[in-house]
Amino acid sequence: MTYEIDWEPPAVDLPARYLMDDPEGLSAVLATIDSLAEDPRPDSPFSLGATGMLRLPAGKYRVVYQIDEAMRTVSVMHVGRGA
């Protein structure tokens, strides 16, 4: 069953800034986020403790998101450059 991807406002602004610097990296991030609609728990997410949020690497970037099973949504909370 497919999940709906929901972008939180702060997560929308950050990728827009990266578009100028790294369009290929941004494309990889967006592809990773799109894949969460089919599989919100791929093999590589890292749990951020009791917050219920997950961090997923996407190339040199990271995506922080939360899954709502009842609503069948994946909320993208943050997109940033990895360490």
Specify burial of residue 66 (Cβ count, 10 A radius: 0-12, 13-18, 19+): middle
Rounded Cα gap, residues 78 and 81, in angstroms: 10
The model carries a pTM of: 0.85
CATH hierarchy code of domain 4-81:
3.30.2310.20
Q: Where are the domains of the chain?
A: 4-81
pLDDT the model gives residue 25: 85
Among residues of the chain, what percentage have pLDDT more than 70? 96
pLDDT higher at 83 or 53: 53
pLDDT at 4 over 70: yes
Contact between 39 and 46 under an 8 Å Cβ cutoff? The reply is no
